[in-house]
Structure 1
Amino acid sequence: MLSPFTEKEMVVRKEWREMTFRKETFMICFHTWKCEDTGEEFEDEHFAQLNYDQVINQYREKYNIPYPDDIKSIREKYDLSAIKMSHVLGFGDNTYRQYEAGEMPTQANARLIQLAADPRKFLDMIDLSHTLEGSAIEKARHNAERLIDKADKEETVIRNYLFDGKQRSRFTGFVRPDFGKFVEMIIYFCTHQRPWKTKLNKLLFYADFTFFKEYGVSISGSEYYAIDMGPVPDNFNSIFEHLTKIDLLKVHNKTFPDGGVGEKYIPTREFNDKLFQEQELKILESIDDKFKNFSTQKMIDVSHEEIGWQQSFNDSLQPIDYLYAFELKN
């Protein structure tokens, strides 16, 4: 970005700074452009949004406030209009629509929305509200009962245990863990590089953390842990085993002279880019390009340079905080 005073390129300045939302203070990594000649600092539209989103995400994390896409998906799974969903929950006519558009719910309303995400509790809400009748109530009941049946299936249970059951937090990059996206990221890197599992884990880490560095949220919502060979996704062995069991990945094993065993995974289908935003795809491409010629050992070495890994290595029970993404060195 060019300085409005000198028309020279400005530098990015980052500092930890307090910001206030709803009378509460949060510490964020504040981004600005700085004119080195005049010392003036500026927020462009991207940095203003990134700074604001950091505050909002921390507030939502603190009070477990659902995000707009969560709020919309809860309503859509019951196939109800926003106004009917408002009536079931006892909100004003336009309240639910406003929450879907980005307005922050009150803590009390957030609890009701979260309760409605459970189909069994939603059935109770329908009975208590007395606002739906005729075909509308039958449709809502049918969809809730269908979701209850689906939730009891083995695949849902497995995915929930491995991935989807985690709450949004600084350890998921402030997004709802999305198993489908995470699987596609695996397919993407396995298609482009055929990496050994150890390198694959680092590629996934850098994709999620680099995206967080740029946009304040992760791509997949995966939690990562610091082990001796660098950052790895939570439950990575179980996830890879599950994907091979359902024949989404084929595994290729190799025994090395030192007795170690390496694993590569070959996808059984093509990468589905429809699940990703344009910015997410660009980050995947940039990570692929940056590390495509790195050996597994070099990937381990560069990951050991990251402050997030260094600070988390001695606490194996705590995931790596995504806020360390702002300190990425590679």
Structure 2
Amino acid sequence: MKNSIRTVIIGSPSAGTAAIFSILDILSSVGRDWEMLHGAPPSEPNKFQPLLCTMTGAPYLDINGRKVTPDAALDAGKLPDLIIVPDIHIDFGGPLPDDLIALSKWIGDAHAKGVMTTSVCSGTMLLATGGVLDGREATTHWGVADLLATQFPKITVRRERILCPTGEGHNVVTAGGSSSWVDLVLYLIARLVDADTARRIAKVWLLNTHNDGQLNYASLAAGRQYEDKIIADAQAWLSQHYMKTFPVSGLVERSGMSARGFLRRFRRATGHSPAEYVQTLRVEEAKQMLETTNLAIDEIAGEVGYTEPSSFRSAFRKNVGMSASVYRRKWQPF
């Protein structure tokens, strides 16, 4: 890699501030802070040359109403070597605002010219809109993963992943939830500088990566749909009856539709079969009980509707990415 890596972090009024300025601080410290702590001169000062840029370069108010002054406009000077798109806070159920559409086009054009393109959290949506992710795998925040998959069917969404490198030479990298900027930045430092430097930065800043993925953070029952009233009613009914034996048969009978027609309609509206949806409700309730009670795991399995504890344990690991006992140890202290 070249001696310096011109890096642009994308700013906008829809972006949060924490990830943007954390990334700027961390990348600016490469080759400086570890050396300073050990009484040595800087080794590679300003290796990443990180800049906060927007379409116009003008000051703006961020999503929390704080005034942010960018370093430059995106079109000022030559193209960067690396783009980082932070988390974006909008209702992704509707159309993108015009300014984000313009950003997406700029990102897509830059990537087409060979710029390494990365994103954090819901920033993946801008890469998707710009065509960067067509035919590729990607991850994003668990709360918008289903929307990403629905709106961009050409993308294979890996909602369980924290980092998802893809594309020719892995020149596209998407990261999961907001704090996965940590994982992305350490990955970029290790890849574009070296692994020792990444380890040193992690030690200086006390950074931990999310090695257990993001499924254990996800709310599996998030995002009930309301467009299809029959299915919305079915979802509401299931939220109160998921623990019953064979709830799906009762659901089909309640709908007044044929089993095949109902199952097809349910999947079209939710992206899941009714059986899969029941399983997510059961596992989500089990997570809450693991966090807030001292009930035995097998007892919790029975409470949420599993007659065989082994079936519960298998379903829990599949949906959460870790065993129920490990999940309890991770989250119960809160």
Give yes or no for TM over 0.5.
no
TM-score w.r.t. length of structure 2: 0.25
- The structure that is helix-richer by fraction is 1
TM-score w.r.t. length of structure 1: 0.25
